């Protein structure tokens, strides 16, 4: 029963649209500017680094906190059962961010929230993903490209390190979900209209 409540609460926590809340506090609906996304990258383009940093930290924490709480509650359980329940707890905030109950089951790409979940579950893989993200961002200057490469790198790392197949399959599915949410970014990249880091939001991206 406690685990079911944690899963439900994790979904609700993941559903909190911190990008929208921070934007509203500044008198701006970030969904109507830039890419229309509610996450770090669009808040950075629309509002700048200060508000974007708040959103980034909040979105990471809403992924990490449920997993850390789940680990504590699952202490003493059978390891195989505990690992499977932890996957359910970890997926809940990712689902909440992408299909937020507070936004009519719309949401963001869940990159930062997935990073939080990953750091709570397999921190080494989280650091690998962040490292790939930083390297690709430095080379390409596109946050979307860096995020896609980081998502692709995590399942490869997990498979190479021999984690349980359920965990590798889970993160492969999460990576596929996050990459699929970047299809609009891929279209803009093909059209040459995707903003690089440091650029303000372009009017033609709005919607």
Tell me the per-residue pLDDT of 48-96, one tens digit each, with 9 for 90 and over: 999 999 999 999 999 999 999 999 999 988 888 898 999 999 999 999 9
Share of residues in the chain with pLDDT > 70 (%): 96
Residue 74 within any structural domain of the chain: yes
pLDDT of residue 180: 95
Q: List the domain range (segments joined by +) for residue 129.
A: 2-199
Total domain count, the chain: 1
pLDDT of residue 16: 98
- Please check whether residue 180 lies inside any domain of the structure: yes
| Cβ atoms 110, 97 nearer than 8 A | yes
In a domain, 77, yes or no: yes
Look at residue 78 and give its three-state secondary structure: coil
Radius of gyration of the chain (CA): 17
pTM for the complete prediction?
Answer: 0.91
**207 within a domain of the structure (yes/no):** no
202 compared with 26, residue with greater pLDDT? 26
Give a yes or no: residue 205 inside a domain: no
Q: Measured between alpha carbons, how far is 153 from 132 in angstroms, rounded to an integer? A: 7
CA–CA separation, 112 vs 32, rounded Å? 21
* CA–CA distances in Å: residue 33 to residues 58, 125, 178, 202: 21, 33, 21, 8
pLDDT at 201 over 70: no
The DSSP bridge partners found for residue 100 are: 106
pLDDT band at 206, cuts 50/70/90? very low
Confirm whether 204 is domain-assigned: no
Tens digit of each residue's pLDDT (9 = 90 or more) over 177-200: 999 999 999 999 999 988 888 776
Assigned domain for 206 exists: no
E strand or H helix at 14, and its extent?
Answer: helix 2-15
pLDDT reported for residue 79: 84
71: left (phi over 0), alpha (psi -120 to 50) or beta: alpha
Checking if the pLDDT of 104 tops 70, the result is yes
Residue 88 falls inside a structural domain: yes
Query: pLDDT tens for residues 126-151?
Result: 999 999 999 999 999 999 999 999 99
pLDDT the model gives residue 162 = 87
How far is C-alpha 19 from the geometric centre of its chain's CA atoms?
Answer: 12
């Amino acid at each position: 029963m406690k685990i079911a409540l944690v899963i439900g609460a994790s979904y609700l926590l993941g559903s909190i649209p911190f990008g929208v809340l921070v934007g509203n506090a500044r008198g701006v609906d970030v969904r109507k500017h830039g890419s229309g996304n509610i996450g770090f990258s669009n808040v950075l383009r629309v509002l700048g680094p200060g508000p974007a940093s708040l959103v980034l930290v909040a979105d990471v924490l809403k992924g990490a906190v449920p997993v850390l709480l789940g680990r504590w509650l699952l202490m003493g359980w059978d390891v195989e059962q505990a690992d499977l329940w932890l996957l359910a707890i970890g997926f809940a905030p990712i689902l909440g961010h992408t299909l937020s109950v507070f936004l009519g089951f719309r949401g963001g790409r869940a990159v930062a929230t997935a990073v939080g979940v990953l750091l709570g579950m397999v921190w080494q893989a989280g650091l690998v993903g962040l490292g790939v993200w930083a390297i690709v961002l430095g080379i390409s200057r596109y946050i979307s490209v860096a995020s896609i490469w980081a998502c692709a790198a995590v399942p490869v790392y997990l498979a190479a390190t021999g984690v349980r197949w359920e965990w590798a399959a889970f993160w492969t599915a999460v990576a596929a979900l996050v990459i699929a949410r970047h299809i609009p970014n891929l279209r803009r990249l093909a059209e040459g209209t995707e903003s690089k880091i440091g650029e303000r939001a372009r009017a033609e991206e709005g919607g």
